[in-house]
Structure formats: structure tokens, C-alpha cells
Amino acid sequence: MRSKSEYFEEEKLGKAYDMKILKRLWPFMVPYKAMLICSCFLVILITLIDLSVPYITKVAIDRYIVPEFDIRNSKFKIEGSKIRYFKVNIADTEAKAIVLKYPNHFRIHGYDALIPFDDLSELETKDLVALRKNDLSGVGLAAAVFLFAILVNFILSFIQIMIMEYTGQKIMHDLRMQLFSHIQSLSVSFFTHNPVGRLVTRVTNDVQNMHEVFGSMIIFIFKDVLLIIGVTVILMGINRELALISFTVLPLVLYGSLSFADQARDAFRVMRLKVAEINTRFSETISGIKIIQLFRQEMKNYRDFEKLDHEHYLAGMRQVRVFATFLRFMGFLDVFVIAV
């Protein structure tokens, strides 16, 4: 069995970001450049739809559910201008009859009549439906557009995920085959100094982690950047003051994200180290079981593995704590911005 000191190479974690390694991965992506470009184009469309969905909701509320009517700039002189009013055009015979039916609720000026939104509940259902038939049609149209946007978003997201998963699997297939070919070309001395478990981890777990980078992380980061830019532009266009207030938490978000990235990266790399050590211990235990039993070292080997497994557990719990802290911190900032 190898001693702890023989894992020295495994503990050289290196730099967090190594551009040389990223450049070496680029040739694996070149054959699938068209699919990557197509996926990026789909992400742009999906982001635009994601931005349009809340805007459709805004239009439905402000234009049809609670239409905005500025009493201060109107011909009506009413105290308590903060009250929201519903305007009715009494040039329509049916609408005029309803207005005259409730003289205590409407205020008439020319061809327009106003009623507070709170008083609409006191009207009969058929009268309320008649007054707001245009609003009901508008809400129905907004709902149809909303559902159509959700459906298109679902279809495009499905296609984009399938393209990226296929591309990621093909890239990892090529990488895995090249790694396997490279391992077979190495000298016997290399296998003497590198345990089997470590090599298995490199060819399986680490390659799978690379698949997550190609299959999801790159696209998610690209989408999130577009989403942030789009939300910023829309907020600045709708209400600049409110947008600037919302942006006051960006320094905290940036600080939390960078801090989380450092801690999560360290926790993940320690987990990666422990997985490699566990695989190595399993491999050596199975291959050397005769020697272990011959010298009655089962209990010692068990204690060594128990210690290693506990270290893996602590590394996993550290990763969980990092994620839990980050999510709660982001949740707090979210609630804080809404409250402000």
C-alpha cells in the first residue's frame, strides 16, 4: 500500500485558472464550432424571450387589469389624486346606461366618467363585464402571447440543451479516446509511480467534470451575462431611479460571487483529490488483498480507509456549507432589493 507521502503530486493543485490548459482544449472544440455557434444563437433568442415574459405581464397589468390614468393631468379636479381611477367613455350607449345606473360611484365630465377601482366591486357582475370588455379581451390576448412565449421558450431550450449535450458528449468522447491512447503509450515506470485509482479518476471523473463545463457552464455564463445586460437596459428604460436603486447591491453581489467562486473552487478541488485517493485505495486494496490478509493488516487498512473517507466527508460538508451560505446571501440581497 502507498503511504500518504506518495499522494504529494495529487496535492499540487496548481493555479485556479491556467490559460495554457484552456488553449489545449480548444482543438477539441473546433470540429463542433458550427454547433457551438448555433447554440449561442439559440441562447440569445431564449434570453430575449425570458426578458419579454415579465414585460408581457407588465403590459397586461398596467394596460388592462389596472389601467394607468393620471388624474393630475386630466380635466377632472378631484382631491386625493393618489387614488387610482377607472375611466369610462360614455359615448358608448351601453356604458352610459351603466354609469347613470350608479350615479353615486361615477364622476362625469363631458364624454368621460371616472370611478375608483375600489368601487368596481360594488357593481353588478354583468355591468362590470360590459364596462371592461375591452380590458378582458386585452388580458386574453396578453395571456395568449404569454403562453406562446413560454411554449417557444420551452422548444428552443430543449433544442439548445440537446445540441449542447450532444456537442459536449462528442468533445468528451474525443478527449477520452485521446487520453486512453496516450496512457497506452506511456512507459512502465509511469504506472509504477502513479496509482491506478488516480489514473481512473483522471479518465472518468475529471473528464465528466469537463463535460459539465462544455455542456452547461459556458452557455449558462453567456446567457446570464446577456440576461443582466437586457434587464439593465429594460429597467433603465422603464424607471431610471428605481434601476439605480436596484444596482446599489451590485457591489455586494460581485463581492459575494467572487468570494464564493474562490471557496467553491477550493472545496471542489479538495473533493477531487479525495475521490482520487479513495479510488486509489480501493484499487490497491483489491489488487493486494492477498498480501493484506497474509500479514493480517485488514484492521489497519480499514482504519486508514476510514480516515480517508472521513476526510472526504469533511470536504463534502465544506462544499455544502459554501453553497448554502452563498444561496442564503443572494436570497437576502434579493429580498432586500424588493423591500427597498
Answer whether residue 6 shows pLDDT above 50: no
| Whole-angstrom distance, CA of residue 7 vs CA of residue 279 | 12
- Confidence band of 1 (pLDDT split at 50, 70, 90): very low
Average pLDDT over residues 14-41: 78
Residue 125's pLDDT is: 86
In total, the chain counts a number of residues equal to: 340
| More reliable by pLDDT, 155 or 332 | 155
Average pLDDT over residues 281-297: 87
| More reliable by pLDDT, 155 or 246 | 155
pLDDT digits (tens, 9 = 90+) for 102-158: 888 888 877 788 888 878 888 888 888 888 888 889 999 999 999 999 999 999 999
Residue 68's pLDDT is: 64
pLDDT digits (tens, 9 = 90+) for 37-77: 998 899 999 999 998 998 899 888 888 888 765 555 455 55
Answer whether residue 276 shows pLDDT above 70: yes
Average pLDDT over residues 157-164: 91
Q: Could you tell me what percent of the chain has a pLDDT over 90?
A: 16
Least confident of 172-181, 203-212, 289-298: 203-212
Question: Quick one: CA dihedral 273, 275, 277, 283, positive or negative?
Answer: negative
* Pair 46, 153: CB distance under 8 Å: yes
Q: Which positions ≥6 away from 107 have C-beta within 8 Å?
A: 76, 78, 113, 114, 115
Residue 310's pLDDT is: 93
Residue 144's pLDDT is: 95
Residue 5's pLDDT is: 43
Q: What cell was used for 255?
A: 463581492
| More reliable by pLDDT, 4 or 145 | 145
Average pLDDT over residues 274-281: 84
- Confidence band of 4 (pLDDT split at 50, 70, 90): very low
| More reliable by pLDDT, 15 or 186 | 186
The average confidence (pLDDT) of the chain is 82
Residue 142's pLDDT is: 93
Average pLDDT over residues 175-194: 87
Answer whether residue 229 shows pLDDT above 80: yes
Across the beta sheet with 85-89, the strand order is 85-89, 112-116, 107-109
Residue 280's pLDDT is: 83
Residue 314's pLDDT is: 92
pTM, entire model: 0.73
- Confidence band of 8 (pLDDT split at 50, 70, 90): very low
- Going from the N-terminus, what domains does the chain have, and what CATH number goes with each? 4-41+154-339 (1.20.1560.10), 71-127 (no CATH)
Residue 215's pLDDT is: 67
| Whole-angstrom distance, CA of residue 293 vs CA of residue 299 | 10
pLDDT digits (tens, 9 = 90+) for 200-219: 777 877 787 777 776 667 77
Q: What are phi and psi of 114, to 5 degrees?
A: -115, 145
